[in-house]
Structure 1
Amino acid sequence: MTTLNDSIDKMLTGRIVIFIDGESTGLCIDLRHYPGRTPQEPDVEKVVRGSKDGFTENIIENSGLIRRRIRDPRFRCEILQIGVRSKTDVCICFLKDVANPGLIKTIRKELKAIDVDGIPMADNAVEEFILRQGWNPFPLVRYTGRPDVAAVHLLEGHIVLISDTSPSVMILPTTLFHHVQHAEEYRQVTASGALLRWFRFMAILASIFLVPLWLLIVTDHLLPDFLNFIGPNDKDYHIPLILQILIAEVGIETLRLAAIHTPTALSTHSVSLQLF
């Protein structure tokens, strides 16, 4: 370290700085140990077979979990600091001889151009700054909490961004097909893995076209006689059928949000005990 401001930044991250009389530079020793949890399997990416570890909120542990799977000297981890006040560490991970150098340069440039007080929302804030997605509803990056998934994408030439305090990493660039992949497929034989992926594709297509197709068949009386029990039997309903479907969609989305944000039975029991 050659400047006092650099030394202050290092000390604020928990490192030890040693100054020697008569020397113009100092020594920085990294003995940081932040309080946190141990690596455990992510709740949304569980597998029957495979590793049970996952990313944590510690950027050093997360990069180490990937390094454990890719022991290649060409695997690079570049750490940048983002935020004038927060100085959040963001790590760019890539394989030097596999990833696109132009893309790496562009991402590095976009990260250095971020000028904000801080990014407390970590990777989500970084995504908004570097991609400028706007009103596009489709995801442009993929998030994962599994080190093995991140390692597979690195070997394919993708770039992984690790943000400190975030238990997930960002994979880019991605396409629609990357979002329908699952770690369980890689633990199966080729035929079984391909079959699982095709089932997932069919489920996606069914979720998109099944309701409109059902509405078209019911309203245009295209059902055969032996399937007349499908759909509304009373044609004198006061609420339009399309409005009923929209209400049902809102109800399902509300139930999904409630299932995500409702505390577990143990935490609910603890809250009730605290109230008494």
Structure 2
Amino acid sequence: MSPANILRELKKFPNKLLGQNFLVDNAAIVDILDAAELGGDDVVVEIGPGLGSLTWPLTQVVKRVIAIEADHEFAHYLRLKKARKLTVVAGDALKIDWTIDLEGAYKIVANIPYSITSPLLRKIFLLEKKPELVVLLVQKELAERITAQEGKSDRGFLTILTEASAKATIVRKVPAGSFYPRPRVTSSVIKLEPYEESKMDLIFWPAVEAGFRHKRQTLANALNKDLKTPKLKVASFLEGQGLSPLARAQELSFEHWQALTKKIGK
């Protein structure tokens, strides 16, 4: 049954605030499952299952699916299906600790509400029990920001946070017509492979925050403004790295931020 028919049966309209755009493109679903490299022993956490577009295919190929749904009516709908491998948790994924009952490795596979992408990634990267693989369907613009190389204008704090935590790859684009209702933006499937050892401790994050908070200013001005770091000290560092003393935050690679941490200290 199509999402439109299910919604009609439930006498319910998609909630824009919860980002309820349901994936109806079978080819995209197959590509998401392929990117997740799933096997019969895998445990998957799905965030925002909605009406089960990804959920049912997941249950066909993995050992267990834990679906976290903020909409209690949808959570109830999924529970009524009584799928043997499915555990439905009604609640906010940003507030729930889904790792409590997980003893071994797990993966995250989800078509997530665009509005929670940044905070969700921060949560995932800071988890003590990290997933071994993450495949998310997100807004194309955000996927490009996450994977932006140095010198690109869309490079930002989330880029550096990701680079400290995981290898990120854009798998494919997913057009607006692949969803019901149709969103106003194009989406992308992004694959994240968390590092065994995070590089979070190698970065002085207040400097990164300051640099991208004032990304139209030079890095020297931004750090002086927020952290009182002497401009000449930052300019000298940049020149030593082969960069312009007038460089902005988005022009620095992850390695540059590591070197800057050593220069200005924590």
Shorter-chain TM-score above 0.5 = no
TM range, normalised to the smaller chain?
Answer: under 0.3
More strand by percentage = 2
**Alignment TM-score, normalising by the size of structure 1:** 0.25
